Chain A
Amino acid sequence: MRNALSLLVFTPALGAMLIAAIPTGAEVLMRRLALAVSLVPLAICVWIWSVFDVSRGDFQLVERMGWLPQFGASYMVGIDGISLLLIALTVVLTPIVLIAAADSVHQRFKGYLLAMLMLETTMLGTLVAIDLLLFYVFWELMLVPMFLIIGVWGGERRVYASIKFLLFTMVGSLPMLAAIIYLALQHAGAAGHLSFALEDLYGTHLSPMAAQACFLAFFLAFAVKVPMFPLHTWLPDAHVEAPTGGSVILAGVLLKMGTYGFLRFALPLFPDAMVAASYWIGTLAVIGIVYGALVAMVQPDMKKLVAYSSVSHLGFVMLGIVALNTTGVEGAIYQMLNHGVSTGALFLLVGVVYERRHTRLIAEYGGLWKQMPIYAVCFLVIMLSSIGLPGLNGFVGEFLILLGGFRFDRVLGAVAASGVVLGAAYMLWMYQRVMFGPVTHEKNLTLTDMTRRELATMLPLIVLALVMGVYPRPFFEVMHASVATTLAYASKATAARDQAAGNPAVAHAPAAASIRMREARGHAQPPVGGHAPAGAVAAPAAGHGEAH
C-alpha cells in the first residue's frame, strides 16, 4: 500500500459523498454505512501500525506529489511515532462518535454524519501533513465541520459559542500563516527555491528576532487550540453548546492539534525561541493546571466541569512538552491519548444522562447509583482514569509528565502536583453529588440504565483505559525514536538553557537520552532527506563535553 496515508485521510471524505447520495429518511442505512466507512481508517491504521518501523525516528510512509509546484507547495504526507499515536486516537474515537450519534442527534441526521466524516478527513490530514502549506489548509479546514457541528446541532447558545470558537481559533492561526510564508521566503532566499516542505524548512536560518516573532505566531495558534490559560475561555462555551459527539471529538482530538503542533512544528522549526520561552510557557501551563482545576470545582454544569478539567489536563501536557526531556515529552504524548480516551468517555457519559433528563446540572441529579448501577460503575472507572489512579492510563502520563516537569523546574513540578489533588477533588465531589445519596428528584426515579448501544460506545474506552494503564509499552515503543529525534532539534538550545540556569547536571539529559536511544536502536535515521539539523548531531556531543 504505497498510498496508505492518502487512503487513510480521504476514505472518510469519499464515504461522506456516498452517504450524501442516500435519500433523507433512510437513517438506519446512513448510520450503518457511516460506521462502516469510519471503520476503514481504523483498519488502515492497524495495518500502518503493523508495518511501522519503531526504530526509526524520521517520517515514514512518505508520499509526495506536486500540488502547486509554481509556489513550491507540495502534497507531502508522512508519519512518525507521534502522529501515528494521534491518528490511532482519531480513528478510534470517530466510529464511537458515529455510534453515539443515533442517540444524541435528532435532526438533520445526514448532515451530522457528513460533518463528522469530513472532520475526520481534516483531522487526519492535519496529522499526516508534512508540508507547511498543506498542514495549514487542513488546520483551517478542520474548523469548518466543527463550527457547523456546534452551530447547527448545538444547544441554545450555539451561535454565540460557535462564533467564539471560530474567532478565537482564527485569530490564533492567521499570524501563523504569515509566519509560514515568511519562513518559506527566508528559506527560498537562502536555498534558491521556494518550498513549504517541513524537511526543507528545518534549520532555516532566521535572525533571533525573526525566529522569536515566528515562534510567537505559531505559539498563538497552538496555544489557543490547546487551550492554554488565558486563551481558554472559548472552550467551556463550545463544549456546553456542542452536541455530545462534537464535545468528544473537540476534547478528544482537536485540542491535541495544539500540543501536537508544538512538537511537530514550533519546536523543530524554532528550537532556540521555544527553549527561551519554555519557562514562560511552563508557568502558563502550571497556572492552567491549578486554575482549570479550581474553576472546575465550582461548576454547576457537568459538561462545563469536564471542559475546565480539560484546561487543567492540557496544562499537564504542555508542562511535559516544555520540560523538553524524554520523560516529560513522552508523558505528554501519552497524556494526549489518555485525555482523548478519558475525557471523550466523560462527555459520552454526560450525554447518557442528558438524553434522559435534558439537563446537565449536577444539582438535578443525585443517587443515580441506585437507578443506574452499570452507568455508575462505568463513570467510576472513567473518573478514576481521569484523576490518574495508578493501574489506569491517566497515571502513566501524569506521572511521567510530573517526573519530567520536576526535572525541568522543581517549583513548577511541585505546584503542578497539587493539580493532582485538586483534580481528585472536583471529580469525586461531582461523582458524589450525582451518584451517591438518596434520589432527590422524582424524575430520576424512572431513569433506565445504559442501553446496549451506549455500552458499545463505552466499553472500548474502558478497555483502553485499563490496557494503557497496565501495559503501556507498545505505545511507548512507537514514540521513543520519534521523541528522540524531536528532542535532538532542541538539544543544543536546552543544553544552553540548563547551563544558564546553573544546573549543569540537567544539561545533557535529553541529548544523552537521544544518544542512548540511537545507540540502542543501532540505526536511528536522521530526518528525511539527510537534512539533519545542526542540533541533532552536534549538540549531543557538545552537551556531553560541557557536562563532563
Chain B
Amino acid sequence: MHAAATEATASLPIAVTYLRYIPLAPLVGVLFHIALGYRLGRRAVGLVGCAAVAVSFALATKAFLTVAGSPAGTVVTDNVYQWLSSGEFSANVAFTVDALSSVMIMVVTGVGFLIHLYSVGYMAHDEDYARFFAYLNLFTAAMLVLVLGDNLPLMFVGWEGVGLCSYLLIGFWYTDPEKASAGKKAFLVNRIGDAGFVLGAFTIFWALVDLGQGSLTFATINARAAELPAWASLAGALLLFVGATGKSAQIPLYVWLPDAMAGPTPVSALIHAATMVTAGIYMVARLHGLFEAAPFSLQVVGTVGAATALLAATIGIAQTDIKKVLAYSTVSQLGYMFLALGVGAFGAGIFHLMTHAFFKALLFLGAGSVIHGLHEEQDIRRMGGVSQKMPITHATFALGVLAIAGVPGLSGFFSKDEILASAYASGHTWLWGCGVFGASITAFYMTRLYVLTFRGEFRGDHHEWEHAHESPATMTLPLIVLAALAVVGGYVGVPAVLGGGNHFAEYLAPSVGHHQLGLDAGTELMLMGISVGAALAGIGLAWTMYSRGPKADRTLANALRGLYWQMRAAYNIDAVYDALVVQPLMRASYALWRSVDMQFIDGVANGTATAINSIGEGSRRWATGNVQHYMLTVLAGVAALVLALTLGALIGVAG
C-alpha cells in the first residue's frame, strides 16, 4: 500500500468572497423566521426556509465546479476577518473549499434542501412552524461553518452550533419532558466529546508553537504533523477523536443518538443521519495528516469503528420502533466510516459518508412518511402491508434498503465494498471480518424492518388503516430524488476491477491522499463475492423468517437466548452509565454542598464570628437586626481605618 497522490500545497488558492454567503444565506433565513415568521405565516416561512438553502446550494455548486474544473489540488478560499488574536494564538473567520469540503457542502446543501422541502409537508400542521424552520436553517448554517472553516476553532463554532440545533430540534416538542430530556442528553454527551476536542486542539497548538508556528489551520496542522513530537501528535489525535466519538455517535459516547429520535423525523434524517453525525468522520479526514503521523491513533479509530459497527448492528436486530432501528443502523454505518479511516482509506470513508447520506436520509424520510400516513404509529409490530396504501414511499424505501444492505449495483454496495477491501488489503483482517459479519447483520435487520412495515397484512387498528394515505408531493418528491441518488450515487466510485475508474477517490486524493489497494483482481473479486454473499444471506434469512410476521422475533429470541433481550434493551448501557457516572456525580454534589459548604466552611466562619461576638460587650448590639445600626458601625469602622492609617503614616514619617 502506498500513497499515490500528494498534498494540495502545490497550486495557488483561488481567493473569492462568495464562500461566506454559503453559511450566511441560511442565517438570514433564521433572522427572517424570528422577526417575521409568525406574522407572515407558513407559506412565507416555508418558502424562505427552502430558498435560503437553495442559495447555499447554488453557491456550493459554483465552488464545487471551480474546484472540480481546476487542476488537482486547487482550493478556493474566502478570508473574512480576524476573529481571535491573543498572544501566540490567532484564528480567522476564513472558509476553504477543497475537494473534501466541496463534497461535504454539496451533500449538506443538496440533501439539506430536499429535507427542508419535505419538512414543508411534514410539519404543515405544527403550530410552531416558524420556530422549526428557524432551527433547521440555523442548523444548516452551523453545519456549513463546520465544513467550510479553515481552522479548528472555527470548525468548533460549527461543531457546537450543530450540537445546539440538535438539542433544540430533538426537544422541539418541548412540552413532552421525555423529548426535552433527550435533547439535553444529546447536548451533554456531546459536550464530553467537545472537551476532548478542545484539549486535542490545545495539545497540537502548543506543540506547534514550540515548532515556531502557532496556528490551528488545517493546512498547517497537516503539513507539520510529522514534525510534532510523537506524544503530541498521538495525544492530539486521540483527544480529537474523543470529540469525534461524541458527534458521530461511536463507543463510548453513542448513547445520545437513539434517544435523539424523539425529534421530528426530518430532523432525524438531516441531522442524525445525513449530516451532523458525519462531522466526526469529516474532522478525522480533514486532519488525516495528523492521524497518519500517529499510526496508533488510526488503530484506535478503526477498532472503535468496527466495534461500534457490530455492537449497534446487533442492537438494531431487536428494536421494534421504526426510527430506533434506523438510529442504531446509523450508529453502525458511522462505525464503518471510522473503520475506513482507521485503515487509512480516507477516501472510502468519505465515499460511504456520501452514499449513506443519500440512502439513510431516504430511509428516515420514508419512515417519516409511514409514520405520517399511519397517524404517528412508530411500532413496526403494528404495521404491515403499508405498500398497498403508500406505493411511492414503499418503492423508494425498498431501494434504500437494498442500497444499505449492499446489494450489487446500488450505491451502498460500492462504498461498503471499498471499505472492506481496503481493510483487507491493509492487513486488518480482523476488522475486515467484523465488517463482513456486520454487513450480513445489516442486511438482516433492514430486511426485517422492510418486511414488517410494508409486507404482509396490516396489524394495527382499523381506524388507522382506513385513514392511511400516501404523503403529499412535497414529501414524495424528495423521496424520489433521494432514491435516485441512492441507486446511482455509487457510480462515481466504481472500482477498476469492475471496469470503473474510481473517479471519486481520485477527485478526493489532493485532500486526503489516495491509496491503491494493491490487491490482485482475483482477490478483490473474491472479497466482493464474500460480502455480497453475506448480504444476500442476511436478506434471505430475514425474508424467510419475517414473512411470518413479528412473531419471528420469538424464534430469534429462542435461538439467541438471553442475548436477544439484552439486544432489545440495548445492553442496558444507559442504566450502566447512570449508575457509574450520573448518580455518583449527583450524590457527590449534594454531599459537597451539604457538608463542605454549609457545615464545614460556614461552620468555621460562623463559629469565628460567634466567638468574636461573645468576647465583646457589643454582641447584643450585633444581633439587633437594625440595619441603620450596622451601617453606623461600618462607617465608624471606616473612619477608624482612615484614622489608623493617618497615624500609621505619621509614625512612618517620624520614624
Contacts and interface: CB of A to CB of B under 8 A. Distances in A.
Given A298-B593, A367-B175, A403-B89, A428 B184 contact: yes
Given A177-B641, A325-B87, A421-B192, A233 B602 contact: yes
Interface string A47-75: 00000000000000000000010111100
Given A188-B652, A391-B161, A327 B87 contact: yes
A420 B653 CA distance: 52
A417 interface: yes
A68 B643 CA distance: 12
Interface stretch (A165-173, A208-216, A263-271, A530-538): A165-173
B592 interface: yes
A421 B246 CA distance: 13
A194 interface: yes
Interface stretch (B45-53, B458-466, B542-550, B581-589): B581-589
A530 B206 CA distance: 35
B627 A291 contact: no
B382 interface: no
Interface stretch (B65-73, B197-205, B338-346): B197-205
A403 B627 contact: no
B631 A181 contact: no
A362 to B, nearest CB: 14
B85 A476 contact: yes
Nearest to A403: B202
A424 B586 contact: no
B153 A424 contact: no
Contacts of B161: 389-391
B590 interface: yes
A420 B85 contact: no
Contacts of A404: 87
A194 B596 CA distance: 45
Contacts of B82: 473
A513 interface: yes
Contacts of A194: 649, 652-653
B108 to A, nearest CB: 18
Nearest to B157: A390
Contacts, number: 203
Interface stretch (B417-425, B496-504, B632-640): B632-640
Given A291-B592, A402-B198, A330 B87 contact: yes
A546 to B, nearest CB: 15
A543 B596 CA distance: 42
Contacts of B641: 140, 177
B198 A233 contact: no
Contact of B199 (A188, A384, A407, A413): A413
A70 B157 CA distance: 58
A342 to B, nearest CB: 16
Contacts of B81: 471, 473
A330 B84 CA distance: 11
B86 A436 contact: no
Contacts of B578: none
A505 interface: yes
Interface in B155-204: 156-157, 159-161, 164, 167, 171, 174-177, 180-181, 184, 187-188, 191-192, 194-195, 198-199, 202-203
B601 interface: yes
B601 A327 contact: no
Contacts of A445: none
B184 A421 contact: no
A234 B645 CA distance: 27
Interface in A293-320: 294-295, 297-299
B191 A420 contact: yes
Interface in B539-593: 585-586, 588-590, 592-593
Contact of A513 (B87, B586, B650): B87
Chain B binding site: helix, strand, loop or mixed by DSSP? helix
A183 to B, nearest CB: 11
A157 B510 CA distance: 68
Contacts of A418: 195
A396 B90 CA distance: 11
A137 B637 CA distance: 12
Interface in A453-504: 470-473, 476
B191 to A, nearest CB: 5
Contacts of B88: 326-327, 509, 513
Contacts of B84: 396, 399-400, 472, 476
Contacts of A163: 622, 630
B87 A68 contact: no
A166 B87 CA distance: 38
A548 to B, nearest CB: 12
A406 B191 contact: no
Given A298-B589, A399-B153, A407 B206 contact: yes
B638 A141 contact: yes
A162 B585 contact: no
A414 B201 CA distance: 12
B206 A406 contact: yes
Contact of B652 (A185, A325, A429): A185
B376 interface: no
Q: How large is the interface on B (under 10, 10 to 19, 20 to 34, 35 or more residues)?
A: 35 or more
A136 B11 CA distance: 62
Contact of A151 (B157, B176, B627): B627
A438 B159 CA distance: 31
B296 interface: no
A73 B648 CA distance: 12
A391 B159 CA distance: 11
Interface string A314-353: 0000000000011100110000000000000000000000
B15 interface: no
Interface string B130-160: 0000000000000000000000010011011
B611 interface: no
A359 interface: no
Contacts of A436: 171, 174-175, 177, 180
A222 to B, nearest CB: 18
Contacts of B634: 143-144, 147, 166
Interface in B83-101: 83-89
A437 B605 contact: no
A432 B181 contact: yes
A166 B199 CA distance: 40
B210 interface: yes
Given A291-B592, A420-B194, A421-B188, A233 B653 contact: no
B191 A424 contact: yes
B523 interface: no
B148 to A, nearest CB: 15
Interface in B609-636: 609, 622, 625, 627, 630-631, 634-635
B259 to A, nearest CB: 14
A295 B199 contact: no
A310 to B, nearest CB: 14
Contact of A148 (B83, B202, B631): B631
B207 to A, nearest CB: 10
A331 B184 contact: no
B429 interface: no
Contacts of A295: 589, 592-593, 597
Interface string A392-416: 0001100110111011000001100
Contacts of B589: 294-295, 297-298
Contacts of A476: 84-86
A144 B653 contact: no
Contacts of B174: 369, 435-437
7 contacts: A68-B646, A147-B634, A148-B627, A164-B605, A177-B644, A432-B177, A472-B83
Given A421-B195, A437-B176, A476-B86, 19 more contacts: A72-B653, A148-B627, A151-B627, A166-B630, A177-B644, A194-B649, A230-B596, A230-B601, A233-B597, A327-B89, A384-B164, A413-B199, A418-B195, A421-B192, A432-B181, A437-B174, A473-B82, A473-B83, A473-B85
Q: Sort A-B residue pairs by CB-CB distance and give the 10 closest, nearest first.
A: A326-B87, A71-B649, A436-B180, A390-B157, A436-B174, A294-B589, A327-B87, A437-B177, A406-B202, A151-B627
